[in-house]
Structure 1
Amino acid sequence: MKASAFVYPWDVNGDPEAAGRIAGLGVRQATLASAYHSTRALTPRHPRHRIVTASHAAVLYPADERWEGRRLRPYAAGDWAPGDAYGEAADALAGAGLDVHTWVVLAHNSRMGEEFPDTSVVNAYGDRYPWAPCIAQPDTRAYLVELAVEAAVRPGAGGTELESLGWYGLAHLHAHDKTAGVGLGEAGQYLMSLCFCPSCSEGYAQQGLDPDELAIAVRRALEPVWRGDTPAGGWEAVEKLLGSEFSGATRAWRDAVARSLQAEAVAAVRAAAPEGFRILLHADPVSYHCGANAGVDPEHILSVADGVVVPCTGGSGLLTPFADRGVGGSVLAANFTVVGGMGGRPEALGEDVARAVGHGATEVRLYHAGLASDEDLSLVTQALARLG
């Protein structure tokens, strides 16, 4: 059972023991961030710092000349990842005997939304989500595909894992977030994530809808939710709130947009990558779900990419739709949070992996080697040793 640990360049650079420590966990691969969103991260073992604040989404290497003259282009990192931080960390990890794959965050960029507000998702009330680039917009799509290519195919990388390659919506790990006062449920989240930018409005019209009437219908459907009536989960709840005609048309539009972007980005990365380069997507098997684990159609995505990375900390059930529709050789990587303070269960990793294998997992991902405490990492090392 191949295991890989997620890691940031700042976990490794400046710490001569970091690469060996990660290899000592018993993993064979490091999934190293090359393009990442803003974050505030703990570095509990680093000899120079304990907190890293990445103030905006950035590439963690020097972007090349392909971006010259473009309106949308990746931002350089600040002092949290100067120069070719990715390359420096990758060399150290490879020197410790680890395979290195890139970790690329795509449709999640608050700074771009702030500087170019027209690129953002706009909800039915006219509120913009600056963290969520609308993947239906031609310029944004072109930017995301090119970023996927550049950030994925870094020197020496054996593969990539693409995060947020799909719709991003209301849910967001935002600083000082205060949006939990009303229980939106899965259906409310979907309605609050529908985009009404010009590109999406045109898309709804292509589905036979009047976008203004749709926006009114969405606001009307959400009225009982604002009064405290949390809707049930599942697509049936969306249809109950919005009606089958409206809901079906929105999903048809959004599913088609996401599928085409995923196929285009994977094809572009594959064309630029060396032979044998593996391309995985962080994915959720429910196509209308939004977020870092983009909603996908399992059969389609496994016909396009080499596999998926699936969140399994809360259980391994999300693996099953991929296992049922997979093709021979597809990678189904079960992703476990092993940071106890972030809801992980490093003490139960062995049991969780066994359950994941029963649901079709072929590999394991560990989130996150840099964030975890010494105790968490000790438990991980023990579990991986028992798994062999």
Structure 2
Amino acid sequence: MKASAFLYPWDVVGDPDAPARIADLGVGQVTLASAYHSTRALTPRHPRHRVVTAEHAALLYPPDEPYWRGRELRPHAAGSWAPGDAFGRAAQALAAAGLDVHSWVVLAHNSRLGADHPETSVVNAYGDRYPWAPCIAQPRVRAHLVALAAEAAVRPGASGTELESCGWYGLAHLHAHDKIAGVALDGTAQYLMSLCFCSSCAQGYAQVGLDMRELKDRVRRALEPVWRGGPAADPLVEAGGELLAATLAFRTRVARELQESAVAAVRERAGAGFQVLLHADPRPDRCGADAGADPAHVLGVADGVVVPCAAGPELLDPFAACAAPGAVLAANLTVVSGMGGRPEALADDAARAAAHGATQLRLYHAGLASDTDLERIRRSGALG
């Protein structure tokens, strides 16, 4: 089964041994970040550093100034963590080792955009803004993300792309020094806390017969038992289910519009033969890196999907049920033991994923993995 390993440019640039090390895993492809959010990343083998701090969401290549001139919202170039054309240098080195390179583009997850333009962020039922989560219902945000997708995806040396966060982002984030676990939030509560109440969303709710002020009050009432820490399961499920049903049609339409526009923009810029995949969850209400998507719709738009399978391969099933021949269903498996991954069980996990329809594997994340984890991947036999 074809496999691709995720990498950052800083895993490769400055480490002449990195391309051969990755190729030696048995993968034929690398999914290399070209536009990424802020992060702090370990580089356990790099000859010059051990920790890279990406201070803000940035392009990992020089932006095309004429392309962005006149646009209201613009991306930022990276700082010292990925200077110049870091993506291009890494892609060239990886290609020289015989690896196919696909770009990895993060879209609706950008705390720098939220800091520079607070009005673009998701705002919850309590009036709190999420600066890491651009509201995709806002036309200028959507236009920015589509433009970003096209430029960041179609980089010299890339023969395809994977678009992450191509949909709604919400409360769950893993923000710097997160302190939001004091009250447990189940999936329903997460959804309610991820609903946006900006002016663009107000218009969208009105189109499906919802008054935003009344909706906001209903969300707050539904969540009140959660904050008290009481037995809120039954009433929350009932109220949350009603609110999910009432709001999901609007939010699903908005996500579809972004996905359709982003894929079309990438294909127009790239031309024929350029593969476009979306990181996706088959439950349309889900927010985050693997944005909720209707399986039949998204497989009719993109060439395939990358599906989170760290907790098991079952999320592949709805995609497999409607996938046409040739569609890519990539099972995303964590292979870093320190992050809960199972590199020693890669062969078993790959076989289980294949039984649920997976046609490819994604290994998260070869740059973060220890030498021991990489050796376990090699010895697993999963990659030939």
Deviation, 1:297, is 0.2
- What is the alpha-carbon distance in structure 2 between the residues aligned to residue 238 and residue 166 of structure 1? 25
Preserved CA contact (<8 Å) 1:332 1:363: yes
Distance 1:70 1:387, change over 3 A: closer
User: How far, CA to CA, are the matches of 1:342 and 1:243 in structure 2?
Assistant: 32
Alignment of 1:184-333 (within 5 A): 184-229=185-230, 240-242=238-240, 244=242, 246-333=243-330
Deviations 1:193-251 (A, max 9, x none): 0000000011111111110010011001101111124765xxx987612463x432311
Counterpart contact for 1:190–1:238, Cα < 8 Å: no
Match of 1:341 among 316, 338, 343: 338
Equivalence for 2:158: 157
| TM-score, structure 1 as length reference | 0.97
Partner of 1:36: 36
Give the 3-state SS of the residue equivalent to 1:113 in structure 2. Answer: helix
Q: CA RMSD in A?
A: 1.3
Counterpart of 2:188, as a letter, is: A
The answer on 1:26 being equivalent to 2:26 is yes
* 1:317 counterpart SS class: helix
SS in 2 for 1:240: helix
Can you give the 5+ residue segments of structure 1 that lack an aligned partner in the other structure?
Answer: none
**Percent of aligned pairs with the same residue?**
70
CA distance in 1, matches of 2:158, 2:116: 32
After superposing the two structures, state which structure 1 stretch, 69-78 or 295-304, moved more. 69-78
CA contact (8 A) 2:25 2:383 kept: no
- What's the counterpart of residue 148 of structure 2? 147
For the residues of structure 2 that align with 1:259 and 1:58, how far apart are their CA atoms?
A: 25
Q: Deviations over 1:8-66 (max 9, x none)?
A: 00000000100111111100001000000000000000000000000000000011021
1:339–1:368: 8 Å Cα contact kept in structure 2?
yes
What are the Cα deviations for residues 321-355 of structure 1, in whole angstroms up to 9, with x where unaligned?
A: 10011111110000111000011010111100000
Maintained 8 Å contact 1:3/1:28: yes
* SS in structure 1 of the partner of residue 256 of structure 2: helix
Residue pair 1:25, 1:380 contacting (<8 A) in 2 also: yes
CA-CA distance at 1:70 after TM superposition: 2.0
What is the deviation of 1:267? 1.0
- Do the aligned partners of residues 386 and 198 (structure 1) sit closer, same or farther apart at CA in structure 2, a change above 3 Å counting? closer
| TM-superposition CA deviations, 1:46-89 (whole Å, max 9, x none) | 00000000000000001102111222101000000000000000
The TM-score, its normalising length taken from structure 2, stands at 0.97
CA distance in 1, matches of 2:232, 2:255: 25
Please name the residue that 1:138 is paired with: 139
State the 1:161 CA deviation. 0.3
**Maintained 8 Å contact 1:134/1:140:** yes
Give distance in 2, aligned partners of 1:328 and 1:2: 16
Aligned equivalents of 1:16 and 1:243: distance in 2?
Answer: 53
User: Does structure 2 conserve the Cα–Cα contact (< 8 Å) formed by 1:42 and 1:52?
Assistant: yes
The amino acid that maps onto 1:366 is L
Conservation of the 8 A alpha-carbon contact between 2:149 and 2:262? yes
Contact 1:152 1:160 survives alignment (8 Å): yes
Measure how far apart 1:115 and its partner are: 1.2
Structure 1: which amino acid aligns with 2:81?
W
- Distance in structure 1 (CA, Å) of the matches to 2:59 and 2:232: 39
Structure 2 residue identity aligned to 1:241: A
SS at match of 1:325: coil
- Quick one: structure 1 residues 237 and 266, their matched pair in 2 at CA, closer, same or farther if it must change by over 3 Å? farther
Q: Distance in 2 between matches of 1:38 and 1:159?
A: 23
> Partner of 2:183 in structure 1?
182
The one-letter code of the counterpart of 2:82 is A
Distance in structure 2 (CA, Å) of the matches to 1:313 and 1:192: 24
